[in-house]
Amino acid sequence: MDILHITKENYKAEVLEEDKVVLLDFWAPWCGPCRMLSPVIEEIAKEEENIKVCKINIDEQSELASAYRVMSIPTLAVMQKGNLVSSSVGFKSKKDILKMLPAQ
């Protein structure tokens, strides 16, 4: 599945109203650890068909970053049925990211 770029305009439909588990990657183009994490996120998006993988550029979507209290990036948030079920800050391995996801 392709990575979806989330904006405040599509956030409700694509994240809050989604039946699948949603992995949100809060990032910025100038962030080194974010660039390191990007290929891992892309790999998860291709391999895990049961989840929706989304990226939120904090420079362009500051309101969403504030709503999730993002203070450092990269920040990952896992949503299920509109609720935050887990989150983490900093670079994570693919294995550690997959451990964040609820059993399906």
- Determine the Cα–Cα distance for residues 79 and 102; give it in Å rounded to an integer: 9
**For residue 25, what is the DSSP state?**
E
For residue 7, which of 57, 73, 53, 68 has the smallest C-alpha distance?
57
Burial of 6 (0-12, 13-18, 19+ CB in 10 A): buried
Instruction: Choose the catalytic residue: 21, 34, 65, 73.
Output: 34
> Active site includes 54?
no
Which of 1, 28, 31, 100 is catalytic? The answer is 31
**Residues β-bridged to residue 84:** 79
Please identify every residue annotated as catalytic: 31, 34
